[in-house]
């Protein structure tokens, strides 16, 4: 309730005025300190009145590669020309807006725009200062012929119908249908597409097995990893599949309510999903008495107050429960004690959206579409230095070569491939050729001839298990980096993202992520020596071992992979002569 109230207040006033917070505290009978506890955590909320025009320029990887910093500096100069006090126009950086295929992305007074030249953005700023109505480019909602959508954009609720028609008229039980649905999900090998890769059928069955009068299904649509924007397209182009997948999950788990948690910057996607819920309810496929079965499962949208950490499932639950989005210690897992301490199925958007077609067409249909001995299909967001960045529905096992050079049209501006980030900032950077001795032995044996000295990354089949076997991670954010990129600068950018988004709950991540940024800055400034490099490795390993959640555990990857796979980049800076003396890194500086 607090989050929704603060969202509404912020929308009405543009910030959270103190007197309004006090009035809200009285009206909803919640202590003022609780409102501040929430309001001070999330980046969406503003506690002070801002300038007339707020410009935010994305500072993360894909926009960084497409000149976001120059764009930001150019518009900052304009803001200064308009009013040097900064009261009229304020220009700042912002974390990934999920528009990486149209980088650089910006917001002007919270309205997301993308792919603008500096001249375009200057015009937008002048229009906003003159209070002209903002221009709005609506994104296409049409279907793209994806295999995930058995209805090609015309929802028919066949999967929900198939399930409720298995209802035993005598007992009212759906057991037979649910057993079949779970079996098809098992055969399909569908796993969580948000990164955790937990088998979907096991998660749903675990909640089904819990004895509780109240259970939930939560869809994690808080897509915020830089370079990831596939859920954005799925939410907007096929929201009916998400609603149907939610209902299948709800009926399977015996859940009483479903929430679709979507990042607040996805205005059009929120609208599309709300429309889909309304339409499904009108058709009788969601809400009360689903298709005349007497079974009910209402679904609603929960708009996120922002922050990358909300993509971590337990942090997301904390936000939904009106607390600071700090990850919980596990166990217990959400299947046992999730939202409001009740058994909860939490799945990513794409995971839920695959379930209707798998149930209708059978688990083998999905499983057998993988290639190169891999199983299933997935959606990949590719961005960076490629000609056709975008979202592609591809088989697991598609090679890096196929993804970059066929689907995404090859490298932009005739560049050669210099590096790949197969999981956005989280997985770090990999070179096009990897020396055999840098590969795990089992991977080298399986993928290289006996005399092979290098593994050609273009031959890598993209499958989470194979990429993990290589020593990497595969997410939905695939970023290709061209030869003109400054890789140390890129590692700094990736590390800054984690520093900016650390929730601060645990010391290794809160302090360590800041120290990593300082170290890479010192490296670039020629203030780094070999001992510091060892210290950086040691700090990284400590963070991996001791951070509470995935953010702190992956935060060292940009620097560690740079040091491992691109040692020449670091050596060139270590060997710099004539710079200032090497500096010391004190953990104490940051703590105080
Ligand atoms: S690892 Fe980082 S993001 Fe995760 S709980 Fe600790 S401080 Fe928060």
Of 319, 358, 372, the C-alpha closest to 163 is 358
Q: Which residues pair with 303 in a beta bridge?
A: 262
432: left (phi over 0), alpha (psi -120 to 50) or beta: alpha
Residue 224 has pLDDT above 50, yes or no: yes
Pick the CATH number of 159-365 from 3.40.50.11540, 3.40.50.300, 3.90.550.10, 1.10.645.10: 3.40.50.11540
Which atom, in ligand 1's list, is nearest to the CA of 315? 5
Calculate how far, in angstroms, residue 309's C-alpha sits from the geometric centre of ligand 1: 8
Residue 288 has pLDDT above 80, yes or no: yes
Cis link prior to 414 (omega < 30° from 0)? no
Which atom, in ligand 1's list, is nearest to the CA of 503? 8
ipTM: 0.99
Which three-class secondary structure state does DSSP give residue 276? Answer: helix
Assigned fold of 53-129: Glutaredoxin (3.40.30)
Local confidence band at 115 (pLDDT 50, 70, 90 cut-offs): confident
pLDDT tens for each residue of 22-73: 999 999 999 999 999 999 999 899 999 999 999 999 999 999 999 999 999 9
- Ligand 1: residue of 95, 225, 307, 309 to mutate (most ligand atoms within 8 A of CB) is 309
Residue 94 has pLDDT above 80, yes or no: yes
Residue 588 has pLDDT above 50, yes or no: no
The domain ranges of the chain are 2-39, 53-129, 159-365, 377-482, 487-591
pLDDT tens for each residue of 255-270: 999 999 999 999 999 9
Q: Residue 26 CB: number of other CB atoms within 10 A? A: 9
Calculate how far, in angstroms, residue 352's C-alpha sits from the geometric centre of ligand 1: 27
pLDDT tens for each residue of 64-80: 999 999 999 999 999 99
**Residues contacting 294, CB < 8 A, separation 6+:** 172
- Ligand 1: residue of 500, 502, 517 to mutate (most ligand atoms within 8 A of CB) is 502
pLDDT tens for each residue of 416-469: 999 999 999 999 999 999 999 999 999 999 999 999 999 999 999 999 999 999
- Ligand 1: residue of 426, 504, 590 to mutate (most ligand atoms within 8 A of CB) is 504
Q: Take atom 4 of ligand 1 and give the residue whose Cα is closest.
A: 549
pLDDT tens for each residue of 327-339: 999 999 999 999 9
Burial class from Cβ neighbours inside 10 Å (0-12, 13-18, 19+) for residue 305 reads buried
Q: Do domains 53-129 and 377-482 have the same CATH topology?
A: no
User: pLDDT at position 583, please?
Assistant: 58
Alpha carbons 357 and 108: distance in angstroms, whole number: 39
In our burial notation (b when 16+ CB lie closer than 10 A, e otherwise), range 453-489 reads eebebbebbbbbebbebbbbbbbbbbbbbbeebebbe
- Ligand 1: residue of 316, 552, 557, 590 to mutate (most ligand atoms within 8 A of CB) is 552
Calculate how far, in angstroms, residue 393's C-alpha sits from the geometric centre of ligand 1: 32
User: pLDDT at position 587, please?
Assistant: 52
Which atom, in ligand 1's list, is nearest to the CA of 513? 2
Residue 589 has pLDDT above 80, yes or no: no
Give residue ranges with CB within 6 A of ligand 1: 309, 326-327, 502-506, 509-510, 547-549, 551-552
User: pLDDT at position 592, please?
Assistant: 33
Pick the CATH number of 487-591 from 2.40.50.140, 1.20.1440.230, 3.10.129.10, 3.40.50.720: 1.20.1440.230
Alpha carbons 39 and 305: distance in angstroms, whole number: 9
User: What are 313's two structure tokens?
Assistant: 């499932």
Q: What dotted CATH number matches 377-482?
A: 3.10.20.600
User: pLDDT at position 195, please?
Assistant: 82
Q: Are strands 390-395 and 377-384 parallel, antiparallel or unpaired?
A: antiparallel
């Amino acid at each position: 309730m607090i989050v929704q109230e603060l969202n509404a207040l912020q929308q009405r006033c543009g910030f959270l005025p103190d007197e309004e917070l006090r009035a809200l505290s009285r009206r909803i009978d919640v202590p003022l300190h609780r409102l501040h506890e929430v309001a001070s955590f999330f980046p969406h909320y503003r506690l002070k009145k801002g300038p007339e025009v707020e410009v935010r320029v994305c500072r993360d990887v894909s926009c960084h590669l497409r000149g976001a910093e120059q764009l930001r500096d150019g518009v900052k100069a304009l803001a200064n020309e308009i009013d040097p006090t900064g009261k009229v126009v304020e220009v700042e950086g912002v974390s990934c807006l999920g528009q990486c295929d149209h980088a650089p992305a910006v917001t002007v007074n919270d309205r997301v725009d993308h792919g603008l030249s500096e001249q375009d953005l200057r015009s937008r700023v002048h229009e906003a200062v003159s209070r002209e109505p903002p221009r709005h480019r609506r994104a296409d909602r049409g279907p793209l012929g994806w295999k995930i959508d058995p209805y090609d954009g015309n929802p028919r609720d066949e999967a929900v119908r198939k399930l409720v028609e298995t209802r035993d008229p005598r007992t009212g039980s759906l057991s037979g249908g649910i057993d079949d649905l779970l079996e098809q999900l098992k055969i399909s090998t569908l796993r969580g597409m948000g990164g955790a890769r937990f088998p979907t059928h096991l998660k749903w069955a675990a909640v089904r097995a819990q004895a509780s009068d109240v259970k939930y299904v939560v869809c994690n649509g808080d897509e915020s990893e830089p370079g990831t924007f596939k859920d954005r397209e799925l939410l907007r182009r096929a929201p009916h599949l998400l609603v149907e997948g939610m209902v299948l999950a709800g009926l399977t788990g015996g859940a009483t309510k479903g929430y679709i948690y979507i990042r607040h910057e996805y205005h059009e996607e929120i609208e599309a999903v709300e429309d889909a819920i309304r339409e499904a309810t009108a058709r009788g496929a969601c809400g009360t008495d689903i298709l005349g079965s007497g079974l009910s499962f209402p679904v609603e949208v929960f708009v996120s107050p922002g922050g990358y950490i909300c993509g971590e499932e337990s942090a997301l639950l904390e936000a939904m429960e009106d607390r600071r989005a700090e990850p919980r210690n596990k166990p217990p897992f959400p299947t046992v004690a999730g939202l409001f301490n009740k058994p909860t199925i939490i799945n990513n958007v794409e995971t839920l959206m695959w379930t209707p077609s798998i149930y209708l067409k059978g688990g083998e249909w999905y499983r057998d579409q993988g290639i190169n001995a891999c199983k299933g299909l997935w959606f990949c967001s590719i961005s960076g230095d490629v000609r056709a960045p975008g979202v592609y529905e591809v088989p697991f096992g598609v090679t890096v070569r196929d993804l970059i050079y066929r689907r995404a049209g090859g490298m932009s501006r005739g560049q050669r491939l210099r590096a790949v980030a197969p999981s956005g900032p989280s997985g770090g950077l990999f070179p096009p050729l990897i020396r055999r001795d840098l590969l795990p032995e089992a991977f080298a044996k399986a993928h290289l001839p006996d005399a092979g000295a290098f593994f050609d990354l273009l031959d890598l089949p993209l499958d989470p298990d194979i990429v993990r076997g290589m020593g990497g991670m595969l997410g939905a954010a695939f970023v290709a980096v061209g030869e003109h990129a400054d890789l140390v600068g890129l590692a700094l950018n990736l590390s800054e993202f984690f520093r900016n988004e650390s929730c601060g709950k645990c010391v290794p991540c809160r302090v360590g992520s800041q120290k990593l940024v300082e170290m890479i800055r010192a490296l670039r400034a020629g203030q780094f020596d070999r001992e510091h490099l060892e210290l950086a490795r040691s700090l990284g390993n400590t963070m991996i071992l001791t951070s509470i959640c995935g953010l702190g555990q992956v935060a060292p990857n940009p620097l560690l992979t740079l040091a491992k796979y691109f040692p020449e980049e670091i050596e060139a800076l270590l060997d710099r002569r004539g710079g200032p003396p090497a500096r010391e890194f004190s953990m104490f500086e940051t703590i105080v």
